A and B are shown apart, each in its own frame.
Chain A
């Protein structure tokens, strides 16, 4: 076909750019504005300000998870391990090392990344559903470590005795601990940086390689792509974002406990990504919002809220497998 026609075809498929129907720059701005005023918005509908921080933090966690699933096609049911390692890393840094929030976030993220790098070498040896089973198994291993290593992690009681520290910018000092709104915007800044980074990776040739793995692993191998190596890399990159989210979560609640690493927490992450839509860049963020707000709302009504959330989830799996974002984008087209 003619060159111009080919270029035209390329433009017509935003798929090639970011791997999924993207809202484009208008969507980004919309979401940015929404996030900017999220605390106020939530307060207006009857929730509370720091719920916004929960949404953003879990959104980051879920988006990190979805980097592996939505873009590389590998389901990890043990991603809570990185959440937990991030949280414990941050907490331990403030408690025993240096009472510095940024450093805590950095070390938490680094800890999760290193764990993923080491773990990835083992679990990429199997594929498909067995890969997922391995992620459950090793996710539980980290839970077990957090549970047993009482001297460091506090064991069953969790890690206490740390709190997010104020940030000192010269003469200015931002109290992150008592000023919940300030912590929200701190989290939002980190979130936006992370999201921009993720975007850059996805639209780069590296991101294209991950997509190739998702679409047809065997074909990718025939093309000379080392499947294990790129799967490992995607695993590590996704862990960076999830551990970052985990570190922020630990700082949000000033607490870290082994439940953060249990496989049911991993399941929550999966649910969030799935509810929002795994084939959509911001889908997991949307899913995290839906999940957290629903959880908050339902748990105030009944202690058995999990049954409704589980039931809702089943309905979604059966009838809305592309999640809310997927459903919306299908309506649009």
Chain B
């Protein structure tokens, strides 16, 4: 009984980690630039397939390090060339742009790598169980590694936003980019940076997901919606909220799935509806951010 519960909990936490990471990246881009990046799933896929491509040359650890960075490079290139032109326009336009990008990404990956799924090799040392011989054999080291990596990533991001000058500027830009610009900060570079960090996190999530689930061109599509839910539940405008929201819905849906497979996903929508009725701005959301 306890084993089953722990199993569902760990599984839910893993899924929640991915939701949280994606929501984190999305939220970062959203808060600063007001762009709903529908191509975020695409960046995850790019990260995963880049890791796959780099694996023969750099191995697992090299790919883990390089792929997210390269994904961020792609993100920055796209932001500075295309997305930037739409900041002064209707927010609808950038939403449509990222949707177009999402389509292009998916099809491009399909053209280069084919439609079939591919496996991604994780070092054997990670695939071993952490507690062999016990009932908790399913807790592989890779899963722990996943959780730890995501938490470290979240912590680094927090430190960046809270302690570094650039991070503080970014937080200021969320609140009032005009004044910040008037005070002499290059706000458009902050926008680019937010895109870069956001896509970096997406790329990282992609590499981690590849190790867990293997590679398919559509692996990012199913994460978009829960990420949005995570952002809304966690709180509009809050980075911590987005991550916590992701973990929350991951764990809740994992636990709910214990009763019926379909109940797991439905739990997400239930939580969303609950949030909207009780506290529309979300857990950590600030009043008046609903624009």
| Chain B binds chain A | yes
Contact status A304-B224, CB under 8 Å: no
Q: How far is the CA of A58 from the CA of B106 in the complex (A)?
A: 24
Whether B93 sits at the interface, judged by CB under 8 Å, is yes
**Is the CB–CB distance between A133 and B228 below 8 Å?**
yes
Q: Does A297 contact B (CB under 8 A)?
A: no
Stretch at the interface among A10-18, A20-28, A136-144, A187-195: A136-144
Contacts of A148 in B (CB 8 A): 262, 265
B107 at the interface (CB under 8 A from A): yes
Give chain A nearest CB distance to B95 CB in angstroms: 7
Contact of B103 among A123, A132, A307 (CB under 8 A): A307
B150 close to chain A: CB less than 8 A: no
In this assembly, does B99 line the interface, its C-beta being within 8 Å of a C-beta of chain A? Answer: yes
Q: Are B280 and A126 in contact (CB under 8 A)?
A: yes
Encoded as 1 (CB less than 8 Å from any B CB) or 0, chain A from 305 to 333 comes to 01101110110011001000000000000
User: Complex Cα distance A141/B262, Å?
Assistant: 11
A134 within 8 Å of B by Cβ?
A: yes
Q: By the criterion CB–CB under 8 Å, are B97 and A317 in contact? A: yes
Q: In the bound complex, do residue B104 and residue A314 qualify as a contact, i.e. CB atoms below 8 Å apart?
A: yes
- Give the interface size class of chain A: 35 or more
Report B-chain residues with C-beta under 8 Å of the C-beta of A267: 38, 99, 102-103
Tell me if A204 counts as interface (CB < 8 A to partner B): no
Contact of A311 among B86, B90, B104, B290 (CB under 8 A): B104
Flag if B225 contacts A140 (CB, 8 Å). yes
CB-CB under 8 A for A141 and B101, given A125-B276, A130-B232, A318-B82: no
A75 at the interface (CB under 8 A from B): yes
* B265 CB contacts on chain A under 8 angstroms: 144, 148
A221 sits at the interface (CB 8 A): no
CA gap between A321 and B86 in the complex, in Å? 10
Residue B277, interface by CB 8 Å: yes
Binary A-proximity of B75-106 (CB < 8 A = 1, otherwise 0)? 00000001001100111110111011111101
Closest-by-CB residue of B relative to A217 is B291
Instruction: Decide if B204 is an interface residue (CB 8 Å cutoff).
Output: no
What is the minimal beta-carbon distance from B86 to any residue of chain A, in angstroms?
7
Q: Which residues of B contact A134 (CB under 8 A)?
A: 228, 232, 272, 276
Whether, in the assembled complex, B231 has its beta carbon less than 8 Å from a beta carbon of chain A, the answer is yes
Chain B residues near A294 (CB-CB < 8 A): none
The verdict on A263 contacting B225 (CB below 8 Å), with A129-B36, A132-B36, A141-B269 known, is: yes
The answer to whether B107 touches A317 (Cβ under 8 A) is no
Report A-chain residues with C-beta under 8 Å of the C-beta of B272. Answer: 134, 137-138
Q: Which of B36, B85, B232 contacts A126 (CB 8 A)?
A: B232
For residue B158, give the distance in angstroms from its CB to the closest CB of chain A. Answer: 23
Q: Which residues of B contact A133 (CB under 8 A)?
A: 36, 228, 231-232
Closest chain-B Cβ to A127's Cβ sits at a distance in Å of: 5
**B231 — which chain A residues lie within 8 A by C-beta?**
133
Q: Is the CB of A318 within 8 A of B280?
A: no
Q: Which of B93, B111, B277 contacts A317 (CB 8 A)?
A: B93
* Residue of A130, A141, A144 contacting most chain B CB atoms (<10 Å): A130
Q: Which residue of A lies closest to B229 (CB)?
A: A137
Closest to B34 in A: A129
Write the chain A residue with the least CB distance to B85: A318
Q: Is the CB of B290 within 8 A of A127?
A: yes
At the interface, yes or no: B273 with Cβ under 8 Å from chain A?
A: yes
Annotate A271-290 by CB proximity to B: 1 below 8 A, 0 otherwise: 10010000000000000000
Given contacts A132-B95, A264-B221, A317-B93, contact A310 B104 (CB under 8 A): yes
Interface contact B82-A314, CB-CB below 8 Å:
yes
Bound CA span A140–B104, Å: 22
Q: Which A residues are in CB contact (< 8 Å) with B225? A: 136-137, 140, 263
Q: A307 touching B269 by the CB < 8 A rule?
A: no
Residues of chain A within 8 A (CB-CB) of B277 are 122, 125
A130 to B229, alpha carbons, bound, how many Å?
Answer: 10
* Interface of chain B residues 205 through 246 with chain A (CB within 8 A): 221, 224-225, 228-229, 231-232, 236
Question: Which residues of A pack against B, CB within 8 Å?
Answer: 69, 75, 77, 122-123, 125-130, 132-134, 136-138, 140-141, 144, 148, 263-264, 267, 270-271, 274, 304, 306-307, 309-311, 313-314, 317-318, 321
Chain B contacts to A: CB under 8 angstroms: 30, 34, 36, 38, 82, 85-86, 89-93, 95-97, 99-104, 106-108, 110-111, 221, 224-225, 228-229, 231-232, 236, 262, 265-266, 269, 272-273, 276-277, 280, 290-291
Q: A274-B96, A304-B110 are in contact. List 9 more A-B contacts (CB 8 A).
A: A125-B276, A128-B91, A137-B228, A137-B232, A138-B269, A141-B266, A270-B96, A318-B86, A321-B93
